[in-house]
Structure 1
């Protein structure tokens, strides 16, 4: 993973800031490519385990079918209203399909952490619910870019 930025170093998040930010944020925007090259962007819930972003996606979605054809993916997690409040992280790489699709809860050691983190973050429960419609995508980023404009204003 490339974790250094050539531009914007003054506003770049430290690895610790980035990890805390990704753990606390709830919604990301996921970009995929169609076979005709047209991009598709949709919102999705996620968890960050410190090295990979885990996305719980509908298996009958445009996103899923596009990733089956072309696993390249870009994800943005951001927030802020005013210019001086903008902050976020962009992660790019290739999506990997992990576990059965759709997910029914069959034992899968790779899913222990995401299935421990996800239900607590989004539902306030400890057991991962499986609806037979969603499955896991893992993005272990090839590149990460971050920004926190609050640093320019001395607010961070």
Structure 2
């Protein structure tokens, strides 16, 4: 439904401050850092910051393949990601996306042709490096999260009389 965030049906509380689909897309496109939560082999959570790109449907994460996060996701691909912004309480906004990670392309990524990654690598290169082609260092690889659930908030809406 136009203007309704994907996965919004899972958000029971805070509908007044929930982002619309358009707001969520704009927010995720402009933010630079997310926090990725995984679970280790003993069931302990692990949270780490990571750069990402949003394509309107999926969150793309460019992760070190020799990281704890990568090892956790190889064992258990479930993850949650939080992207947030704001300084004062009334400015806070963000989104939590959760689902299953999908590994895309070679790991680690060395630049072998992968049509599924062409647009995303271009988007990522422009967003973070201001260039058109993503340099491959042989240490990172791609994860895609197409969220099963999305919860969002924008506390700026609390001040609006017709929110």
Q: What TM-score does the superposition give when structure 1 sets the normalisation length? A: 0.97
Counterpart in the other structure of 2:86: 80
Q: CA deviation at 1:114?
A: 1.1
Counterpart in the other structure of 1:123: 129
Secondary structure of residue in 1 paired with 2:123: helix
Secondary structure of residue in 2 paired with 1:113: helix
Secondary structure of residue in 2 paired with 1:105: coil
Counterpart in the other structure of 2:8: 3
The answer to whether the aligner puts 1:22 opposite 2:49 as a matched pair is no
Size of the aligned set, in residue pairs, is: 156
Cα distance in 1, alignment partners of residues 48 and 82 from structure 2 = 10
Per-residue CA shift, 1:55-83, capped at 9, x if unaligned? 00000000000000000000000011111
Counting only pairs closer than 5 Å after superposition, residues 1-156 of structure 1 correspond to structure 2 as 2-4=7-9, 5-154=11-160
Secondary structure of residue in 2 paired with 1:152: helix
Q: CA deviation at 1:27?
A: 0.2
- Identify unmatched segments of 5+ residues in structure 1: none
Cα distance in 1, alignment partners of residues 12 and 47 from structure 2 = 26
RMSD: 1.3
Cα distance in 2, alignment partners of residues 113 and 36 from structure 1 = 37
Deviates more, 1:33-42 or 1:109-118: 109-118
- Identify unmatched segments of 5+ residues in structure 2: 1-5
Secondary structure of residue in 1 paired with 2:97: strand
